[in-house]
Amino acid sequence: SNSKLLIKDGTVVNANHKHLAHVYVEDGIILAVDPHITVGDDVTVIDATGKFVMPGGIDPHTHLEFEFMGTETVDDFFSGQAAALAGGTTMHIDFVIPLNGSLTAGFEAYAKKAKKSCMDYGFHMAITKWDEVVSKEMELMVKEKGINSFKFFMAYKGALMVNDELLLEGFKRCKSLGALAMVHAENGDAVYEGQKRMIELGITGPEGHALSRPAVLEGEATARAIRLAEFVNTPLYVVHVMSIDAMEEIAKARKSGQRVIGEPVVSGLVLDESWLWHPDFETAAKYVMSPPIRKRGHDKALQAALSTGILQLVGTDHCAFNSTQKAFGIEDFRKIPNGVNGIEERMHLVWDTLVESGQISVTDYVRLTSTECAKIFNIYPRKGAILPGSDADIIILNPNSSFEISAKSHHSRLDTNVYEGRRGKGKIEVTVAGGRVVWENNELKVAPGTGRYIEMAPYNYLFDGVDKKDAAYLNYLQAPVKRVKSST
């Protein structure tokens, strides 16, 4: 049985330290991490000599079974998670979208979809309108439903988009609840304008997607959200940072001491805009996501920002639509469902792009793909660590083996793959989720219903000292104004 497991002789890697040790697991929990463990015959032993034993990946940004742009993603909570496990990710955080404006109904709907889960998951919640009911429901989500983050869409006008007034109300509410505010940062009014302009010019193909929502609109919205978060004095998390423009705003804010988290996604790190100009519609449409994948140069800059600490963790924004769904926009790029895959590819591509290339260390890899996410969303060290007492979510990566990506061999239901044909060094050979070996010898052993909902408690470390800053600000506001009398 898998209930007792010993992973021996590997290099155990955490975000701040690595050393040679055995890892002993019982009933889904890591019991010991030590170079001197001996076990009986009832224990399954996996030899990890010459390999890295690391915390399973945590993907902070996915959309499974997501109804969007008139259709629904092809990966549900089972197929998307199975794909994730085959690629070394053992937990993800998905975005609950309110149902007919109700957070409670949205939560119930997602809880139902997630019943077929084969790996652990958590939820963020989107806020798409504002009234007293929403404000009350946010409190319920935080206090009773295990949600500690809320996403505000500054784009998708006429659908999910919110205005600055709502953003301010939402930020204030997040702060009072100890929840993290997240933004999709693009100026939705300007995007709408840009899209009309493209259609008027007769540009109806996928390249119109890139042309209508340039990086400047991402930079503007990122700057605006950062400043509004500063005004409210609450931490901010910018999802899918795709451009130098947005990254530089985050760098500036962080340098001044503001608590801003920046999450690039794999597509932004390794792809570039030229795909959107591909003459074949079907090929180009695969790459349509928002904010758009940018021109070459943004990718390298985002990689560098991760290696220097300007950006903190890597997500995927996995949001998979088949070619038949992408074809809804064959005559008008505005109707191409937005989203690309990545949940299965993230761990390999980050390894190959950042570790194999020498840009980051192995410990940094663990931080960017797992530990930082666990810390931000307040589930560390249960998740994101190979420590006694942590959940047994473990991967074994062989740095001397290689991976190759193809729609023919991937585990997602998607009929294409934006990383088709990519190969690289470093192969995740084993995935252990909740103490079970779910991926070994290129074989998946997963069962629906084995994944658990991970509740995330409010007040994470990002909020430390926020009250103090509020007090200082209040003192400043209440200090008497010394007016200097004019001498002329």
Which spans of this chain sit near Zn ion (rule: CB under 5 A)? 34, 36, 184, 317
The least distance separating ligand URP from the CB of residue 167, rounded to whole angstroms, comes to 16
Contact pick of 63, 294, 298, 411 for ligand URP (by CB under 6 A): 63
Cβ atoms 62, 343 nearer than 8 A: yes
Kindly tell me which of 23 and 289 has the beta carbon lying closer to ligand URP.
289
Q: Based on the shown chain and the rule CB under 6 A, indicate whether residue 207 belongs to the binding site for ligand URP.
A: no
Minimum Å gap between C-beta 320 and Zn ion is: 12
Provide, rounded to whole angstroms, the least separation between the CB of residue 486 and ligand URP. 54
Nearer CB in complex with Zn ion: 22/427: 22
According to DSSP, the β-strands at 89-96 and 120-126 are parallel
179 touches, from Zn ion, ligand URP, none (C-beta below 5 to 8 Å by class): none
- Whole-number minimum distance, CB 289 to ligand URP, in Å? 4
Footprint on residues 237-256 left by ligand URP (CB under 6 A): 240
Confirm or reject binding of residue 184 to ligand URP (CB under 6 A): yes
Select the residue interacting with ligand URP from 96, 190, 242, 289 (CB under 6 A): 289
**Residue among 293, 325, 292 nearest 67 (CA):** 325
185: partner contacted, choices ligand URP, Zn ion, none (Cβ within 5-8 A by kind)? none
Q: Which of 35, 97, 104 is nearest to 67 (CA)?
A: 97
Taking the complex as a whole, the smallest distance from the CB of residue 160 to Zn ion amounts, in Å, to: 8
Closest approach of Zn ion to the CB of residue 93, in Å: 11
Burial category of 420 from C-beta neighbours within 10 Å (exposed 0-12, middle 13-18, buried 19 and up): middle
Picking from 422, 401, 400, the residue whose alpha carbon sits closest to that of residue 410 is: 422
List the single partner that 48 binds among ligand URP, Zn ion, none, CB under 5 to 8 Å by kind: none
Q: 285: which 2 tokens?
A: 């449409």
How far, in Å, CA of 163 to CA of 35, rounded? 56
Q: Identify the helix (H) or strand (E) that includes residue 405.
A: none
Size of the site for ligand URP (CB under 6 A): 9
Q: Which does 435 bind (CB under 5 to 8 A by kind): Zn ion, ligand URP, none?
A: none
One symbol per residue from 85 to 114: x for binding ligand URP (CB under 6 A), - otherwise; what is it? ------------------------------
Least separation, in Å, of the C-beta of 318 and ligand URP?
A: 9
Residue 450 beta carbon to Zn ion: minimum distance, rounded to whole angstroms: 25
Would you say how long the chain is, in residues? 488
317 binds ligand URP (CB under 6 A): yes
Sheet strands side by side (includes 57-62): 57-62, 89-96, 120-126, 149-153, 180-184, 236-238, 260-262
Quick check: 221 and 185 in contact, CB under 8 A?
yes
Q: What tokens appear for 389 in the block?
A: 């007492």
CB closer to ligand URP, 338 vs 353: 338
CB nearer to ligand URP: give 289 or 462.
289
Query: Which of residues 11 and 316 has its CB atom nearest to ligand URP in the complex?
Result: 316
Give the CA diameter of the chain.
95
What is the 3-state secondary structure of 61-93?
A: EECCCCEECCEECCCCCCHHHHHHHHCCEEEEE
Which of 456, 450, 433, 443 has the alpha carbon at shortest distance from 55? Answer: 433
Cis preceding-peptide flag for 381 (omega within 30 of 0): yes
Binding-site partner at residue 122 among Zn ion, ligand URP, none, CB < 5 to 8 Å by type: none
* Smaller CB separation from ligand URP, 242 or 368: 242
- For the bound state, the minimum distance from the C-beta of residue 264 to Zn ion, rounded and expressed in Å, comes to 13
The answer to whether the beta carbons of residues 466 and 235 sit under 8 Å apart is: yes
Q: Which is nearer to ligand URP, 66 or 380 (CB)?
A: 66
Q: Omega into 206 within 30° of 0, i.e. cis? A: no
Q: Does 75 interact with ligand URP (rule: CB under 6 A)?
A: no
Q: Identify the residue among 10, 206, 339, 426 touching ligand URP (CB under 6 A).
A: 339
Q: Which of 338, 370, 398, 460 binds ligand URP (CB under 6 A)?
A: 338
Q: Which does 367 bind (CB under 5 to 8 A by kind): Zn ion, ligand URP, none?
A: none
Token pair listed for 97: 């979208």
Whole-Å CA distances, 14 to 91, 251, 345 = 17, 26, 21
- Closest by CA to 332, choosing from 205, 211, 209, 212, is 205
Q: Which helix (H) or strand (E) holds 248?
A: helix 244-255
Nearer Cβ to Zn ion, position 60 or 178?
A: 60
Residue 34 interaction partner, one of ligand URP, Zn ion, none, beta carbon < 5-8 Å per kind = Zn ion
Pick between residue 155 and residue 430 the one whose CB is nearest to Zn ion: 155
State the residues that interact with ligand URP by CB under 6 A. 63, 184, 240, 289-290, 317, 319, 338-339
